[in-house]
Amino acid sequence: MSLLESLNPEQLAAVTLPRESALILAGAGSGKTKVLTARIAWLIQTGQVGPNGVLAVTFTNKASKEMLHRISTMLPINTRSMWVGTFHGLCNRMLRAHWKEAGLPQAFQILDMQDQLSAIKRMYKVLGIDAEKFPPKQLSYFIGSAKDQGLRPKDVEAHDEYHRMMVRLYEAYEAQCQREGVVDFAELLLRSFELLGANPALREHYQARFKYILVDEFQDTNNLQYNWLKRLAGPQGCIFAVGDDDQSIYAFRGARVANMVQFENDFAVQNRIKLEQNYRSVGNVLKAANVLIGHNKARLGKELWTEAGEGEAIRVYEATSDQDEAAFIIDRIKKLVLEEGFSRSDIAILYRSNAQSRVVEQALFNAGMPYRVYGGLRFFERAEIKHALAYLRLMDNADDDNSFSRVVNFPARGIGARSVEQLQDLATSQVTSLYRAIHRLEGRAQAGLKKFADLIERMRFETRGLSLADLVDKVINESGLVAHFQADKDGEDRVENLKELVNAAASFAIAEGYYQDAAATMVDEEKLITPLADFLSHASLEAGDNAAAAGQEAIQLMTAHAAKGLEFKCVFVTGLEEGLFPHENSIGNSVEGGDGTSVEAVEEERRLMYVAITRAREQLFLSHAQQRMLHGQIRYHLRSRFLDELPEDVLKWLTPKRAHIASQGWDALDSKVWGQSKTLNVGYSNKTTKRPYDIGTGVSHAKFGNGVVVAYEGEGDDQRIQINFGRQGMKWLMLSLAKLEKF
Ligand code: ATP
Ligand code: MG
C-alpha cells in the first residue's frame, strides 16, 4: 500500500493501530502530523470508516488545509465534507447546523478580539462604567479565562469587590452578545460544549458518527477543549492524540500538559507510542534543540536522533542594533538565494513578538525582496475590510450592533453622534437592536438613520440571486466605501484591498463549491448555512493566511508561536535577548504547573525557543542586538541565556562571542534574585512593586558607570534593583537611594 510505504516501523504501528485510544508523545519533526494524516487516509482506504466518520482537530486553518490537501492526494475522495479544522472552526460548524438548539439566531456573527473590545466599550458607555478602573482588556481576559474553564457568570467565585464587579460585567456582556446575535471565540467552544451536554439525542448522533477522532498538537489543548473532545467522543469514543510536551507554548492561555496524563486515564490508553527519529533537521540543529530543552526540569523526557548528516554549523550573529540585525539577515538571504539556490519561500524569519517585525519588513522592502507576514495585522483585520464586512454582516444579521456602530456613519452621511446616542437610549430602553430601534425613533434624528436602514434593505434586495463575489462587489460600491477611499489621496491601497476582498470571496466560493445564489441556504449534509454567512465566519476565523499576498514566492515572517508545526529549509531566529526572548514577564517568575506545582515561567519560553529552532531543516541563524527600538524606546539587552545554553561545538560565532554574563549562569542568578517563588503577573492582577526601569534598560551610575537592569526584588522602601555593570560586575542597589539615570 503506497501510503504506508515511507513510514518507519513505529510510525507504521501507530498508523495501523486497531480502534483504540492512543497517545503519541514525540519530539519535533518525528512525523506526528504525518502519522495522523496517514492514519486518516488508511482508515478510509481500508473501509474502516467513511470520510464522514472522521473528525480531526488541527491547530491552525493553514494546517487543516494542508491536511485535507494531503489526504486528497492520497485518496480519490472528496474531502469537502470532512470535519477537519481547528477547535473554533469545528465548533462554528456544529453551531451553524444546530443554531436553534444552541439558542442562537441563524445568522449569528463571530466577534474577533478587536470586535470584542469594541463591544465591551459600547457596553461600558451604556452602563456608565469607568474604563480606567475596569480596563476593557482586563474584562476581555477575565471573560475569556472564565469561558475557557467552562464557567458562566453564575459559576465564577468572586472573593472581593473587584471580582464581583467583573462577574457582573461578564453577565451584562453575555446579555448584550445574546441580544445582538454575536459570539466571541471562547463562546464558540463553550456553546458547542453545552449544546452537546443539553441534547442527548444530538450528542449520541455525533458520538455514533465520529468513530475516529484525531487531535494534533494535543499538548496545547485547554480544559474546555479537552472536555469538549471527551463529550464528543462519548463512552465508546476513540481518540488518537499526538503531541509533544516540549512544545507546549500556550500555558498562558490555559493549555495544560496535564491533559495528556488525564487523557491516558480517562480513555484507558494502553500504550504510549514514542517516535524518536527526526526526519526534519540536520544533526547540528537537532543537537542544539536537544541540549537546549534539556535545561527544562518539567519534562516527560525524550531524546531525538537523526540519520541526516551534521549539516552546517548554526551561525550566531551579534548585531550592534536592530537595524544592523536586519542588514545581516538581508545579506544572508541574498547569499542563500543567489549563491546557494534556495527559493525565497524556503526561508523563514521568526521573532518573539509582532512588534519586532517592522524593522525587518522595512529592510526587506528596501531590498526589493517579496515577503509575507503571517499573524500581524491580518487581511481581514484591516480597517477598510472590517468596514466592508460590517455592511455584509448587517445585511446578514440586522441585530449586530457592533457592525451597525462601525458603519452607520461611515462613509460620512451626516448622522451625528447625538442621533446615534438617542438611538442607543431608545434601543436600551426597549431592549432591541440599534437597527430595529430606527423605526421607533421620532423626529429629526430619524431621517438620516432611516436612509441608512433603507440602504441596507436596498442592498439586501438588489443582491438577491447574485454570486458571493458579485454580492461583495456590489456592497463595496453601493455602500460608498470605494468612492470614499478613491477620493482620499492616500486611499489607493485601501481600494486595492477592497477589490482583493472580492477576489477572496470568489476564491472562497470556488474552494467551497458555492456556485449559486450567495444568500440561499445550502443544504449540504447537515451544514445549513448561506454562502455569505459561511464567508463571514471564514473571515473571522481565518488565521493569518493573508489573501492579498498570496501567489508570489515570498520570504516568510512570523512569530515563533505561529511557526508551530511548520518547517523551512532556512530559519532565522532573531531578537535573542534577555527580556525579549525569554520575554521579560517570564524572567524570575513561576507559574502554576497544572498539577498544583509551580514551574519556572522561563521554561515555557525555552519550549518556545525549542519550537523555533526545530523549524529549521538545513540552515539555522541566530541573532541578537545590543540595542533596539521597541515601543518607542531604545532598549539595551543582554544576550539571551538560550544562546549560552546551546552546545558550543555546533555553533559558529560570526561576531566574537563576548563574555558578559555572571559565571554562575542564569539559573543561579534567578534563584538568588527570586528566592521565593512569585506568581506571574497576568491579566487583571495588580502589580505591587514599581519598576521605574524595564528589565534590560541601560542605566548609568556615578560610581559604577553604565549597566543594564537585570532584576528587582523586595517591595516599597526595601525594593532593590540589580544591575549588570559589565566589568564592574553585578550589583544590588537600594532603589530609593541609588541615583540612576537612563542612558
Ligand atoms: P512538529 O512537532 O514540529 O509538528 P511532527 O512530529 O508533526 O513535527 P512532521 O511535520 O509530521 O513532524 O514531519 C516532519 C518532516 O519529516 C516532514 O517533512 C515529514 O514529511 C518528514 N517525515 C516524517 N516521517 C518520515 C519518514 N518516515 N520518512 C521520510 N520523511 C518523513
Ligand atoms: Mg506536527
What DSSP assignment string belongs to 445-474?
HHHHHHHHHHHHHHHHHHTTT--HHHHHHH
Distance 608 CA to ligand 2 centre (A): 15
Task: Give the residues across from 24 on adjacent strands.
Answer: 242, 273
Residue nearest atom 2 of ligand 1, based on CA coordinates: 28
| CA-to-CA dists, residue 209 to 52, 204, 205, 238, 712, angstroms | 7, 8, 6, 12, 56
Per-residue pLDDT band at 494 (split at 50, 70, 90):
confident
Predicted confidence (pLDDT) at residue 686 exceeds the cutoff of 60: no
- For the chain, percent of residues with pLDDT exceeding 90: 53
Separation between Cα atoms, residue 52 and residue 42, nearest integer Å: 14
Among 33, 109, 116, 306, which one carries the catalytic annotation? 33
Among 115, 180, 184, 216, which one carries the catalytic annotation? 216
| CA-to-CA dists, residue 165 to 153, 172, 230, 657, angstroms | 11, 11, 33, 53
Specify the ligand 1 atom closest to the Cα of 614: 3
What mean pLDDT comes out for the span 142-152? 93
Separation between Cα atoms, residue 164 and residue 510, nearest integer Å: 49
Please provide the DSSP assignment of 426-452 as one string. HHHHTT--HHHHGGG--SHHHHHHHHH
247 assigned to active site:
yes
Distance 567 CA to ligand 1 centre (A): 9
Predicted confidence (pLDDT) at residue 387 exceeds the cutoff of 70: yes
618 assigned to active site:
no
Task: Give the 3-state secondary structure of residue 40.
Answer: helix
Crossing angle of helices 492-512 and 531-541, in 10° steps, is 120
Distance 112 CA to ligand 1 centre (A): 32
Task: Give the 3-state secondary structure of residue 558.
Answer: strand
Indicate the DSSP class of residue 615: T
Angle at 264 between CA 261 and CA 269, to 5 degrees: 155
Distance 33 CA to ligand 1 centre (A): 7
Which residues have their alpha-adjacent CB atom under 5 A from ion ligand 2? 32-33, 565
Q: How many residues does the chain have?
A: 743
Distance 29 CA to ligand 1 centre (A): 5
481, three cell numbers: 466605501
Q: What are phi and psi of 640, to 5 degrees?
A: -65, 140
pTM: 0.79
State residue 312's pLDDT score.
Answer: 95
Separation between Cα atoms, residue 290 and residue 522, nearest integer Å: 51
- For the chain, percent of residues with pLDDT exceeding 70: 89
Pocket of ligand 1 (CB under 6 A): 6-8, 11, 26, 28-34, 244, 247, 279-280, 565, 567, 614
Crossing angle of helices 113-127 and 161-180, in 10° steps, is 110
State residue 673's pLDDT score.
Answer: 36
Please provide the DSSP assignment of 239-265 as one string. EEEEE-GGG---GGGTB-THHHHHHHH
Asked which of 48-52, 87-91, 383-387, 631-635 is least confident by mean pLDDT, the reply is 631-635
| CA-to-CA dists, residue 313 to 48, 341, 488, 649, angstroms | 47, 18, 52, 8
Give residue-wise pLDDT tens across range 10-34: 999 999 998 889 999 999 999 999 9
Residue nearest atom 31 of ligand 1, based on CA coordinates: 279
What mean pLDDT comes out for the span 247-273? 82
State residue 711's pLDDT score.
Answer: 75
Crossing angle of helices 223-233 and 185-198, in 10° steps, is 30
Specify the ligand 1 atom closest to the Cα of 275: 6
718 assigned to active site:
no
Separation between Cα atoms, residue 696 and residue 579, nearest integer Å: 6
What mean pLDDT comes out for the span 552-579? 92
What mean pLDDT comes out for the span 480-495? 87
Asked which of 177-191, 514-528, 653-667 is least confident by mean pLDDT, the reply is 514-528
Separation between Cα atoms, residue 48 and residue 643, nearest integer Å: 49
| 419 known member of a binding site | no
What mean pLDDT comes out for the span 616-644? 89
Crossing angle of helices 113-127 and 417-429, in 10° steps, is 80
What mean pLDDT comes out for the span 622-630? 90
State residue 473's pLDDT score.
Answer: 94
Query: How high is the mean pLDDT of the chain?
Result: 86
State residue 292's pLDDT score.
Answer: 96
Side-chain-side CA neighbours of 116 within 13 Å: the count stands at 23
Asked which of 310-314, 333-337, 382-386 is least confident by mean pLDDT, the reply is 382-386
Pick from 4, 33, 37 the residue to mutate for probing ligand 1's pocket: most ligand atoms within 8 Å of its CB: 33
State residue 663's pLDDT score.
Answer: 35
State residue 271's pLDDT score.
Answer: 74
| 100 known member of a binding site | no
Most confident of 208-217, 590-599, 707-716: 208-217
216 assigned to active site:
yes
Predicted confidence (pLDDT) at residue 512 exceeds the cutoff of 60: yes
